């Protein structure tokens, strides 16, 4: 279903979105309103548009049209909000160019962010990206990246194999210890106790309140305590540079340094340029497609504040994932 700008900016018409009208998904106006009425909403995509059309944000002042990369992205029946979903094949993704990111360009020392997604992931070995502003550069020890925030999956380097691993970067490039020494990668991410569900619809989300990153699977904070040896986080950065000289944890994970903000003058010679907002892929190891996601996207929302545990549960319940095929 295509939603016009006027329709997008108004309340959603209950006579249009009802059970079964668009296929086998669960779609109703109250589910959409649950998302659009949540404080701090920046963008909300329901992926109801046909292939070849930009996917536009619903219920927000800005449309934030997602551009297809790699050709028209197939629309399939069955989705939580529009009754449809975008079907990504690992060779295509969506983007908003950096210059057009507007309020999605969440950054700065006091910045907060939350993300909520309704997805059906396939092949987690390849599928590593939900969405975010996250450009990593060319690989290990490359500090030219312009990472900001992202909801990622399956990062085993620092204890996140097959897990949900939302990232926040204050440096844009690689993580630095308190003394300025560098890691080869960005290692600031929370890690869930449970793996990301595959071959089934689920909700995935994270919050960042300026101090802690928290990761949610199916509306629940999936807590995990740090085991330095098991989680490959024995470095003092993880064990001694957290609050009061303690550890940073796993989920929640202590970050506390804000979100990278690109300064065109300051970073002119050191950074590769601002990161696009991307869905289903990110720029990593010199490519967008090496770890591009395979699966269905039925909903994606970004907020400019940290949602509470109760709010994340409410968003999950609004998606009715148990009713999706």
* Mean of per-residue pLDDT scores for the chain: 92
Q: What is the pLDDT confidence band of residue 27, given thresholds at 50, 70 and 90?
A: low
User: What mean pLDDT comes out for the span 109-132?
Assistant: 97
**High-pLDDT (> 90) share of the chain, %:** 89
Q: What is the pLDDT confidence band of residue 29, given thresholds at 50, 70 and 90?
A: confident
Instruction: Parse the chain into domains and list their residue ranges.
Output: 14-323
The domain defined by 14-323 carries CATH number 3.40.30.10: no
* Ordered DSSP codes for 64-111: -PBEEESSPPPEEE--SSSSEEEEEESS-EEEE-GGG-GGG---BTT-
pLDDT greater than 60 at residue 85: yes
Strand, coil or helix: 225: coil
pLDDT greater than 50 at residue 86: yes
pLDDT greater than 90 at residue 315: yes
Could you tell me the CA-to-CA distances from 258 to 172, 188, 211, 223, 255 in Å, in that order? 11, 11, 8, 22, 8
Could you tell me the CA-to-CA distances from 255 to 62, 66, 95, 168 in Å, in that order? 30, 29, 27, 8
User: What mean pLDDT comes out for the span 280-304?
Assistant: 96
User: What mean pLDDT comes out for the span 293-322?
Assistant: 98
Q: How far apart are CA 141 and CA 175, in angstroms?
A: 10
Strand, coil or helix: 168: strand
Q: How far apart are CA 81 and CA 32, in angstroms?
A: 6
User: What residues contact residue 237 under an 8 Å CB cut-off, 6+ apart?
Assistant: 175, 177, 178, 183, 187, 248
Q: What is the pLDDT of residues 168-177, one digit of tens each?
A: 999 999 999 9
pLDDT greater than 50 at residue 64: yes
**High-pLDDT (> 70) share of the chain, %:** 91
pLDDT greater than 60 at residue 103: yes
Of residues 117 and 17, the one with the higher pLDDT is: 117
- What letter does residue 42 receive in the DSSP assignment? E
Q: Write down the pTM of the prediction.
A: 0.92
pLDDT of residue 139: 87
Q: What is the pLDDT confidence band of residue 325, given thresholds at 50, 70 and 90?
A: confident
pLDDT of residue 28: 64
């Amino acid at each position: 279903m295509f939603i016009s700008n006027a329709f997008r900016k108004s309340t959603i018409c209950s006579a249009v979105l009802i059970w079964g009208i668009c296929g086998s998904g669960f779609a109703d106006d109250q589910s959409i309103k649950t998302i659009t009425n949540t404080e701090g909403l920046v963008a909300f995509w329901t992926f109801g548009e046909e292939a070849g059309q930009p996917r536009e944000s619903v219920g927000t002042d800005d449309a934030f049209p997602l551009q297809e990369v790699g050709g028209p992205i197939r629309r399939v029946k069955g989705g939580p909000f529009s009754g449809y979903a975008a079907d990504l094949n690992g060779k295509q993704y969506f983007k908003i160019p950096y210059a057009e990111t507007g309020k999605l360009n969440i950054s700065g020392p006091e910045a907060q962010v939350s993300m909520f997604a309704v997805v059906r992931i396939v092949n987690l070995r390849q599928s590593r990206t939900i969405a975010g502003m996250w450009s990593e550069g060319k690989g290990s020890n490359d500090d030219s990246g312009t990472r900001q925030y992202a909801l990622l999956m399956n990062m085993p380097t620092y204890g996140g194999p097959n897990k949900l691993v939302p990232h926040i970067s204050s440096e844009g490039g690689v993580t630095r210890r308190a003394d300025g020494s560098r890691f080869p990668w960005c290692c600031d991410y929370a890690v869930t106790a449970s793996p990301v569900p595959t071959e089934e619809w689920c909700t995935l989300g994270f919050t960042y309140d300026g101090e802690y990153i928290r990761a949610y699977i199916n509306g629940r904070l999936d807590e995990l305590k740090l085991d330095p040896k098991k989680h490959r986080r024995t470095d003092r950065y993880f064990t001694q540079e957290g609050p009061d000289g303690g550890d940073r944890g796993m989920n929640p994970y202590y970050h506390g340094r804000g979100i990278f903000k690109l300064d065109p003058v300051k970073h002119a010679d050191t950074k590769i340029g601002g990161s696009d907002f991307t869905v289903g892929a990110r720029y990593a190891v010199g490519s967008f497609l090496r770890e591009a996601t395979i699966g269905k996207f039925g909903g994606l929302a970004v907020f400019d504040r940290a949602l509470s545990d109760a709010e994340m549960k409410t968003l999950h319940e609004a998606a009715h994932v148990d009713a999706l095929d």
